Amino acid sequence: MVLLHDRGGLLKTAKTNSIRMEFEDNSTLALLTGEHNQNLAQIEAVLDVSLDSFGNSITVSGTTAMTRKAQRALEDLYRRIAADEGASAGTALVDDVLRWVESDEKRPASGDSFDTWKKKIVAKTPGQKDYCVLLRGREVVFGLGPAGTGKTYMAVAKAVESLKKREVERIVLSRPAVEAGERLGFLPGDMKEKVDPYLRPLYDALYDMMPSDKVDRMLASGEIEIAPLAFMRGRTLSDSYVIIDEAQNTTPVQMKMVLTRLGQNSRMVITGDLSQIDLPDNQPSGLADAVERLQGVEGIGIIHLSGKDVVRHAVVARILQAYENT
């Protein structure tokens, strides 16, 4: 339990405020503050507040708005550490807490996660939260956004959950084999060896959510199928969860082809980054064309994630912002 002592009093209408928070469990508090108070320093830097730790209390000082945000961050961090029964609070956890505090939105409840074999996958940003709603509610979802926003990872999580619950019979993962001007014919090896480098992000997501032996068995049995986009022509994908990754590199003809593969009791997610198109200059992107054509069509959801939804290293979001500003 956290006890609060608001020193604002007459200062509540002023620009600054001070709150002293008392924490009952000293071991949890020690994890909250971090080694050499590094977690407190991280919160101070992001929210522009002053945090003074003494005994079992932390005094938060700053503008009224930022003080309240810091209070929320400390309360949420304390609860999450206590719930994990002593799990350490590293930079990633503090980053996650701060993202939700800065957005002024509530972090998703435990029931708002995707349940995979290895762990629960929970939205880490408001944009991802909205994406999860679409993944649960629409037959076809377009997830657009820059690298690191979780557009592919969250889609794979929903696919794995659907397979685990036997809502579908298989997962089909595909992407066009077009990267920075290269083509399959220029790569050494057989077809699998040519295709695997393009599909590695999909493999990585699967192995992160499922035991490796289960992934290998399901790949061998066909319950999980990974193939280049060209292999989709002429097929009807029924009882399947289909993910088309890096779809910005499809042509309009390819996109129409893959969208019309959807069979009964199937879902499809198309992900891509329209700022990273590797097609020839005179070739329009099938993803951009589809998003424009399908706005407002029943059963189709479209979401645009942004740099605010990046959950990689914090510098990635700053890099994206710099590119967007030039």
Number of folded domains that form the chain:
2
- pTM for the full model? 0.76
The answer, yes or no, to whether residue 191 has pLDDT greater than 70, is no
Do both 245 and 145 map to the same domain?
Answer: yes
Strands 114-115 and 120-121, bridge-based pairing: antiparallel
Cα distance between residue 40 and residue 19, in whole Å = 15
- Give the domain-ending residue among 59, 76, 103: 103
Q: Left if phi > 0, otherwise alpha if psi is -120 to 50, otherwise beta: which for 85?
A: left
- Give the domain-ending residue among 54, 87, 103: 103
Cα distance between residue 114 and residue 121, in whole Å = 5
- Give the domain-ending residue among 103, 124, 159: 103
Instruction: Give the residue from 73, 59, 80, 77 showing the smallest Cα distance to 17.
Output: 59
**CATH code of the domain covering residue 85:** 3.30.1370.10
Do both 60 and 117 map to the same domain?
Answer: no
Q: What confidence score (pLDDT) does residue 315 get? A: 67
Cα distance between residue 138 and residue 283, in whole Å = 29
Residues 6 and 19 sit within 8 Å (Cβ to Cβ): yes
Most confident range (mean pLDDT) of 96-110, 172-186, 206-220 is 206-220
The answer, yes or no, to whether residue 181 has pLDDT greater than 50, is no
Do both 272 and 139 map to the same domain?
Answer: yes
pLDDT mean over 263-280? 92
How many residues are present in the chain?
Answer: 326
Residues 194 and 221 sit within 8 Å (Cβ to Cβ): no
Between 231 and 23, whose confidence is greater? 23
Q: What confidence score (pLDDT) does residue 208 get? A: 94
Do both 160 and 301 map to the same domain?
Answer: yes
**93, 102, 233, 281 from 257: Cα distances, Å:** 42, 42, 7, 22
Residues 49 and 62 sit within 8 Å (Cβ to Cβ): yes
Q: How confident is the model at residue 97 (pLDDT cuts 50, 70, 90)?
A: confident
Do both 64 and 183 map to the same domain?
Answer: no
**CATH code of the domain covering residue 220:** 3.40.50.300
Do both 87 and 132 map to the same domain?
Answer: no
Cα distance between residue 244 and residue 202, in whole Å = 10
**132, 231, 302 from 127: Cα distances, Å:** 9, 32, 12
Residues 274 and 203 sit within 8 Å (Cβ to Cβ): no
Do both 142 and 258 map to the same domain?
Answer: yes
CB atoms within 10 A of CB 160: 25
Do both 267 and 217 map to the same domain?
Answer: yes
Look at residue 61 and give its three-state secondary structure: strand
CA atoms within 13 A on the CB side of 105: 15
Do both 148 and 116 map to the same domain?
Answer: yes
Q: Which tokens in the block code for residue 6?
A: 């608001």
Q: What confidence score (pLDDT) does residue 110 get? A: 52
Domain that holds residue 260: 110-324
Do both 26 and 158 map to the same domain?
Answer: no
Any idea of the CA torsion for 172, 183, 287, 222, to the nearest 10 degrees?
Answer: 0
Do both 97 and 233 map to the same domain?
Answer: no
Do both 164 and 299 map to the same domain?
Answer: yes
